[in-house]
Structures are given as structure tokens and as C-alpha cells.
Structure 1
Amino acid sequence: MSLGFRFSEYIPAPEENNGFESLLKLFLQLITITSGDVAEALAWLNSLDKQYQLTSDQYGMGDFIEDLKMKGYLDEDPQRQGTFKITAKSEQQIRKSALEEIFGKLKKGGKGTHATPHTGVGDEASTDQREYRFGDAVEQISMTDSLRNAQINHGLSDFMLTEQDLEVTETEHKTQASTVLMIDISHSMILYGEDRITPAKKVAMALAELVKQKYPKDTLDVIVFGNDAWQIEIKDLPYLEVGPYHTNTVAGLELAMDILRKRKTPNKQIFMITDGKPTCLKEGLRYYKNSFGLDRKVVNKTINLAAQCRKLKIPITTFMIATDPYLQQFVDEFTKVNNGQAYYSSLKGLGHLVFKDYRQNRKRTF
């Protein structure tokens, strides 16, 4: 004999390691700000704990550090007890956190290519349909719609299917894109009491994770420029620091062009995040520097490279995180010569602008 169902009061199970998850989010933010300095990040976290009681009697800071090691977020130096460094797992988690913070939670889609405005024999079905044309692939034929057309055209009593009844689903061509992201690491990125480099790093990490998850066939290269320019790995972004540098935009653009020349993708572009004008050139072994006003020697070389990029069909999108009127004059000239785009952005809106422009440029045919 069945006793049926018995109901009792529902008591939800406590969330496992809720203290760890909340502390981890804060710790990863601090790691980004401290450029990967674990000791400094933990010191700041301890200070915040004292002020805001982040831990409890059940879960303390010591428990959190042990969990970081056990879960693979930290490695301890065997030669120097108590000295830690973040792991590859932490680096990836920092990029994921940046992606969620800046771009919102995005669903991974397909194989990650981007639509162009062209239709035809492509890679992905669209919502548009048309009559059958010679050369259309069999798999493009919409059987349901074609059978309906046959019934309408010929009736049910003497069923027949002709070429005129066939209807096909349009497909959209897909394209790949290669992007070089240039990040200014000149001294002005931390001047005047404003940390501009941390938001720039977060945008770079978020964009890198976006490309990896949603557009894995695309390429993203990151370069930094100060007195010189050099390429960095995506995994090195959390450790990026500003130096006592001027702004050699020319070196950055030259390196970006060299990288993109080697890419075989049809769409290429440069994103440049900066807060100032170009102030430096390298001439042989010496540096030509001038931080006063707009030096035409430096500016003209920069403008010439913008024109070269236009000839190579490489648009440059400039994200200027400063609003000085004389800087706007330079950026306007630079953008006009390249036929690119420019944004004068606050740090708060930087990530959304980068994401918007990245998606828009993926749909263009340059």
C-alpha cells in the first residue's frame, strides 16, 4: 500500500564556501590593481577586512589563503615560505571576471565567427528565404516550405514537386578578424591622482576573454607603448605596469602594422587606448622627446602612419581617455587621415565602447 507523498518544511542548504567566493572576487580585483603583487593585494584585503568585517569566526583570512592554494589560485615559493604568486588559473579567472564586469554575462556562441552584410552560399542560416537558383546547395532547400508551395501550386489530388516550388534558406557569409590592441603605458596613465592603467588592463582582459569564448577564430594581439613598443602575452596583462615613459605612438603603430601584415584574415583593425598626445620618437639609438604642446615633428610622423594604415585598409579606433581641447585637435586630424573612429571616453564607459566598436567592425567589409 502506497503512503503517498510526505511534505516537510524546506530548509535550504547553506552555500558552500560563500565566504571564499566573495573574497575571491575582491582578491582578483586587487591583484589587477597591484599588477600581480600577491603580498600587496593580501595586505589591502586585510585592511578592508578590518574596516568592513569581510571574514567571520567561521571563515577567516587564513582559511581563505589556504583555499586559494588548495584550489589552485596561488603557488607558494618552496624556497621562501609565505611568498606567493598567482597561477594560470588565477590569470584566466581575472579575465573572466573582467569580461563579466565590463561586457556583462555573454553566452558562448557557435564557432565564433562574425557576420558580414553579404548573403549567398555561406556558413550560417539566416531568417531570409528565396526561390531556388541553379547552384544552390541541396542542404539549403527548406523542405517544409517547398512542399507547401507544391500543394498550393498543384493541389493535393495530383501531387508533384517542381523546381519552381523549391524555396531555399539564405545563408550568411562569415568572416574572421585580426585585432591589435595598443595600450599606452606612459607615466601620464597614473598622474593627477587617477589610475587609468587598471581600467585599460581590465578592458584588454575582457576583450581577450570575449574573443576566446565567442570568436575563437579571430586573433587578438596586445602591444604596449611608452618610449618603445613591444608585444605582450594575454596572460601577462594582470602584471602590466606604467613606467617613467613618454608616448611613442609611432613605435606602437609600426609594431601593430608589422603584426597585422602577417595575418591572413580579411578584416584587420587597430584599437588604441591612450590618454595623451605622441611625445616621443626613436631616431637610431637616441630618443627625440618633447612633452610641450603638439610637436609637429612627432605628430607628422604619426599622421603619416595613419595614412599608411588607411592604404592597407586597417582602420584605427582611438579611445582617448582625456578631453583636453588641444588633444582633440590631434585626434580629429589623425582619425580623418585614417578614416577611422575616435571616442573621447571616461574610464567608466571605456569597456562598453570597445565592445560596441569591436562588434560593429566585425560586420564591415573593409
Structure 2
Amino acid sequence: MSANARYLPYDGSDPLAPPVDLRDALQAIGDDVMAGSSPRHALQELLRRGSKNMKGLDDLAMQAHRKRREMLQRSNLGGTLDEVKKLLDKAVLEERKELARALDDEARFAEMQIAELPPSTAQAVQELSDYDWRSPAARADYEKIRDLLGREMLDQRFAGMKQALENATDEDKQRIDEMLSDLNDLLDAHAQGTDTDEQFQDFMDKHGQYFPENPKNVDELLDSLAQRAAAAQRLRNSLTPDQRAELDALAQNAFGSPSLLGQLDRLDQHLRAARPGEDWEGSQRFRGDQGMGLGEGTSSLQEIAELEQLGDQLSQQYAGAQLDDIDMDALARHLGNEATADVRTLSELEKALQQEGYLDKGPDGQWRLSPKAMRQLGESALKDVAGRLSGRAGQRDTRRAGAMGEPTGASRPWEFGDTEPWDVTRTITNAVLRESPGRSAPARRRDPGRVPVKLRVVDVEVAETEQRAQAAVALLVDTSFSMVMEGRWMPMKRTALALNHLVTTRFRGDDLQLIGFGRHAQTLTASELAGLDGVYEQGTNLHHALLLAGRHLRRNPNAQPVVLIVTDGEPTAHLEPEGYAHFDYPPSMRTLGLTVKELDNLAKLGAQVTIFRLGDDPGLARFVDRMAHRVGGRVVAPDLDGLGAAVVSDYMRSRRATGR
């Protein structure tokens, strides 16, 4: 056995479950960011929704709320009163049987007394407190009422007392009375600031069996007692006025002595003063058929309160919410180990995204998608485009014989879009090393026939070549509000990411500029465009965007100029010399004239212009057709799903046209 092997407690997780898929998680976050969410909010939404292989917080919160609802629908709070009534009816019946066999006048008087008992259970119990029972069985049942009430009153404050004190002796009751007195003395001293650790330890040594929570100090003792006492108060608040009156009257007979009630009242006062933040005023509506005793009802309300708190923690809807806020012990106690494993998986996902560098904080302290994340999203978008390109007849093959430059002597791993030839020697070597990681190089040379060589994509390396031509590419994307309203926002962003990834990883000599245009135009990085929010702002300022595109092309005088325009509306704004945008709808002649003039300037630079028209607006169709015809450009009218493939395909077409 390895010396590094360690054994840890089982945490309830599935050992055969697949690892957290960061790629899928990043894609989901990226989609939300491109739709307008902040990275932090997008991460929270992913944790809330989960995925097909990962249960989200919403599912767990629903489990907690469902369990709470089932408890309320299953039970009611009449258990103690029903049990007392049954014991009373049994005692009265046994007494009547005994009296019927007696022939003396006192028996007749007792029969009259029994017959005149009030209908209220509590009042009947009170009137019988001094009754001289003739039937031993009846007397025993009546004493059970007193014991039951005493145990229920204690069980409300100390869980398990009802069972622990069943058939309790007078000595047991005396010890309980002594514990309550000592407890109140300890809390008196604590309230006055005169208690000591030694006093607390003496109390626990003497009465620790009544506190299974094993508190370490007075504050922990107060916490556990106050939570249950508050639940007991909420139970009382949940009773009907008649039920409260009955129980208040019955409480006077607990253990046959009013001293218990006095001690408990004194304890409640201490707890309310020490922990005013507990929920002392709330209530719950139980609607079921299963009656609960006072102690059981208190435990149920305590459990319901925990489930409510757990549901709030799982919902993560409050300010500053974090997964670390979730009480894992309460989660396991109420929903099981599988639920705790699900939360740990979500927590690992959140931490892994940060540790792997997909999320980082910007200068303003806000979370953002890192450059690594943007490359991943761009790669994903490009793969999606590649899949669509494969179905476009005559547009998939981007390789041309003789189009490459001279080999540089270097090689690199193959990636999608590479048109360079394979480096066969490096490719085969990679396959051999991968298939035989444990064998030494001399051993492989002595017995090469035993080494199976199976090529995989990860083995392939291509020979790098010198570039013959470069392109200066300007991608102009419409960011007006109509793009958001018509559902074109996300396809536009994914298109830009795909083209950006293709250029930066496969055609590194090309210079791509992303330009967004609404009321104004602006140059954008891929991450800025991905996080751009849709703003309700009138204006499609293609004129300003073409100005920025011209500036970009002039910075690259030796590169082939390429201009790609994605828009869903006619130009309705232009940039005035003073720097402000002028808006007109329908488009003014000045706006159209300035836009066409700037397009002519790009044509003079030799730019290849392609306009991708989105939507079926006839006015837009006529305008872009005329513009394209004027500068010898092209118009493409793709559907939204095919936008990315259309733009990338056109870029590749322009690259082929340069002779590369």
C-alpha cells in the first residue's frame, strides 16, 4: 500500500460520479454574461439552476420547503389535549363502575359530583384535584394526567424529557426541580455578570445528563435553550384561544405542584432577556390529522424553523449570500448525506472556476471573465461555427495547395483552422510517447515492435510556415436596442467571439478590430463585448462605426483590408463634427449621405466589404443592397443560427482571396 494513502470519513458523495465539468459550467456562465448578467450573478444562477449532471440549490431548497409543508399537513397541535381527555374519560368511567357497585350514600353523592363535571377538560381535571377516588385504576389514570402534563411542560424546554420521565419517582421529580432551580440561579449570575466557568462546570457535572447538546459555556447553553423555548412559544401562538386556555389551566396540575410552572416561567424570562433576537412571536398553522404533544409539537416547530432557515440559506437570495452560509450539519440532518454531497459539488465548482483562472477581479474589485475564460468561450463558439460550416456546401474547405509560405522549421500542436502540413515525425513520436509512458527510451528502442502506435488528435503537430499576407479586419456589430428586442444579441456576441478566437489563434498576423455601434460607436475587446449590456437607446450610427473602421485600416497600410458589418436596421444616426450623435427617424438624407461617403472612403482603401443583414425589413434590404453594389461588396442574409458560420466563412473567403 502506498505510504501516501489516507482514509477519510465518507461524506455521502457518489464515488462513481463524474468530476465537475468546468467547460460546461463556463459555457453556461458565458451565455448569461453575454445575455447581460454580471459574471458573479451568472455564477450564482448556475449554482441555483444546476445542470443535467449537477443538482442546483433550487432543487435542494425545494426539498426543504416540501418537507416543511408535509410536516404542517401531517400533524395538528391537539395531541396533549386529546391524550389528557382520553385519560380523564378512562378515569371517570372506571370510577363510575366502582361507584355503581357501592350502596352507601357517599357513593351517590360522588356519582352526582362526577355527573356534574364541566365539559372543559381542564376544568374537569381541576375540580377532580381534591376528589377522593374509590377506584385504584381511576386514581392511577388521573395521576397519569398530572405526570403527562409535567413531562410535556418539561419536554417543551428540554428535548426528550417526556420519555425520560415516564414512570418517574418522587426522587426523579425532586432532581428535576433542583436542576431548574440551579439553572435559574446560574442564569441569574450570568445576567449580572458574576458567573464563572467553575460555576458552569459544577452545574454541568451535576445536571449534564439533561443537556445532550453538551454546551461548552453559558452562551452555548442559552443558545440551545432559547431556540427550543422560542419554538415552544411559537407553538403556543399557533394554538386556538380555547386550546391555550385549556393548557394554561391544565399546567397548574403539572406533577401535582404549581412550583414547576413557576420555575419554567422564571426560565422563560431569562431566555427572552438573553436572546431577544429569537422568533418569540411567530406561529405555524398545522392542518393534519396526527395529533402532537407539547414536546413533540415544540420539536416539530424547531425542525420547521431549521428547514425555513435552511431554505433561505439554499435560496441565496439575501445580500452577501455565500455557499459557506449553508449549515451542512442541518442539511445532512434534514435532507440526508446526498444533499450535503450536492452542495459540496457546487462549492467545488465555484472554487475551481476561481482556482483555474476563469474568474478574476478587475481593478474595480468586481468579478469578471478572465482572458483564459474568454479564450475558452471563443473556442466553444468557433467549434459551434465549425459544425455549421461542415454543412455549408462548397464553403467548408479552407485549404489551398501552394497557399502556404516557406516552413520555419518549428512545429506546434494542431488546432482547428490550421492549414499547415503535418509534421509527421513529431506526430508519430507523440503517439509513441503517449502509448508507452512507463517505458524508458532505451527499452522502446530495443523492442519497438511491442509499442502500439495509435494516432489521436492530441498527437498531431503541424509545421509552421511563414505568412505571405496579412489582413486588417474590422467587424462592425450593431448594438442598438432592436438587437436585444429581436433576440439577436446573443448570436451577435457569439459570432464576434468565434471570429476573434479564429484570428487570435490561427491567423495571428491578422489584426482584428471589434466595433460596436448604437447611438455612438466604440471599439471593444472580446471581453468588453461579451459583457456589454443592452441599453434602450435610439440610433444606429453606422457612420461613426465606419469612421473607426477606416482608422483601423489606415493603421495597417500593408495589410489586406476587410470590413464585415452585422446590422438589423438602417442608419438612423450620424456623428457631427462637434462629436455628438444626431438621430433622425426615418433616416435623414444627411445621415445616409455621410454613411455612404464613409463607405466610399473604405472602398478607396481597397476594403472588401460584406454586410450581414438580419431580419426582413424591406427598407434595410434596399439600403444594404445599394451600398454593397456601390463598393463592390456582398450582402449575406443569414438566419440567426447561421450568423456565426456566415461571418467566419466570409472571413475565410477573404483570406483565400489574398492568396494565403
TM-score scaled by length of structure 2: 0.41
Paired with 1:118 and 1:308, the residues of 2 have a C-alpha distance of 33
Further displaced range: 260-269 or 325-334: 260-269
Paired with 1:79 and 1:210, the residues of 2 have a C-alpha distance of 30
Aligned residue among 640, 645, 651 for 1:358? 651
Look up the equivalent residue of 1:361 and give its one-letter code: S
Paired with 1:239 and 1:104, the residues of 2 have a C-alpha distance of 25
2:376 aligned with 1:93, yes or no? yes
Further displaced range: 306-315 or 13-22: 13-22
Aligned position for 1:340: 633
Look up the equivalent residue of 1:340 and give its one-letter code: G
Aligned residue among 110, 116, 123 for 2:405? 123
2:521 aligned with 1:229, yes or no? yes
Look up the equivalent residue of 2:568 and give its one-letter code: D
Look up the equivalent residue of 2:371 and give its one-letter code: A
Further displaced range: 296-305 or 254-263: 296-305
Contact kept in structure 2, 1:118 and 1:172, CA below 8 Å = no
Paired with 1:365 and 1:268, the residues of 2 have a C-alpha distance of 10
Shift of the alpha carbon at 1:297? 2.2
Contact kept in structure 1, 2:36 and 2:534, CA below 8 Å = no
Aligned position for 1:145: none
Change (3 A) 1:204 1:79: closer
Q: Could you say what secondary structure the match of 1:271 adopts?
A: strand
Shift of the alpha carbon at 1:300? 2.1
Higher helix share: 2
Q: Percent identity?
A: 27
Structure 1, unmatched stretches of 5+, are 1-12, 107-113, 126-170
Paired with 2:505 and 2:380, the residues of 1 have a C-alpha distance of 13
CA displacement 1:212-243 (0-9 Å, x = unmatched): 22111111111111222221223423212333
Aligned position for 2:573: 280
1:130-209 correspondence runs (5 A) = 174-191=468-485, 194-209=486-501
CA displacement 1:142-173 (0-9 Å, x = unmatched): xxxxxxxxxxxxxxxxxxxxxxxxxxxxx999
Shift of the alpha carbon at 1:118? 8.8
Paired with 1:61 and 1:255, the residues of 2 have a C-alpha distance of 44
Shift of the alpha carbon at 1:190? 1.1
2:541 aligned with 1:248, yes or no? yes
Aligned position for 1:139: none
Shift of the alpha carbon at 1:105? 11
1:77-88 correspondence runs (5 A) = 84-88=367-371
Change (3 A) 1:67 1:267: same
Aligned position for 1:61: 346
Q: What is the RMSD computed on CA atoms of the aligned residues?
A: 3.3
Shift of the alpha carbon at 1:329? 0.6
CA displacement 1:231-284 (0-9 Å, x = unmatched): 122342321233324111111101101110110334111111111110012222
Paired with 1:105 and 1:96, the residues of 2 have a C-alpha distance of 14
Contact kept in structure 1, 2:572 and 2:588, CA below 8 Å = yes
Shift of the alpha carbon at 1:14? 5.7
2:397 aligned with 1:103, yes or no? no
Shift of the alpha carbon at 1:196? 1.4
Look up the equivalent residue of 1:257 and give its one-letter code: G
Contact kept in structure 2, 1:117 and 1:363, CA below 8 Å = no
2:25 aligned with 1:23, yes or no? yes
Q: Could you say what secondary structure the match of 2:468 adopts?
A: strand
Paired residues in the alignment total: 293
The structure with the largest alpha-carbon Rg is: 2
Shift of the alpha carbon at 1:332? 0.6
Runs of 4+ in 1 over 6 A off after TM superposition: 76-80, 114-119
Higher strand share: 1
Paired with 2:362 and 2:650, the residues of 1 have a C-alpha distance of 42
TM-score scaled by length of structure 1: 0.70
Paired with 1:174 and 1:78, the residues of 2 have a C-alpha distance of 40
Contact kept in structure 1, 2:517 and 2:545, CA below 8 Å = yes
Paired with 2:364 and 2:545, the residues of 1 have a C-alpha distance of 39
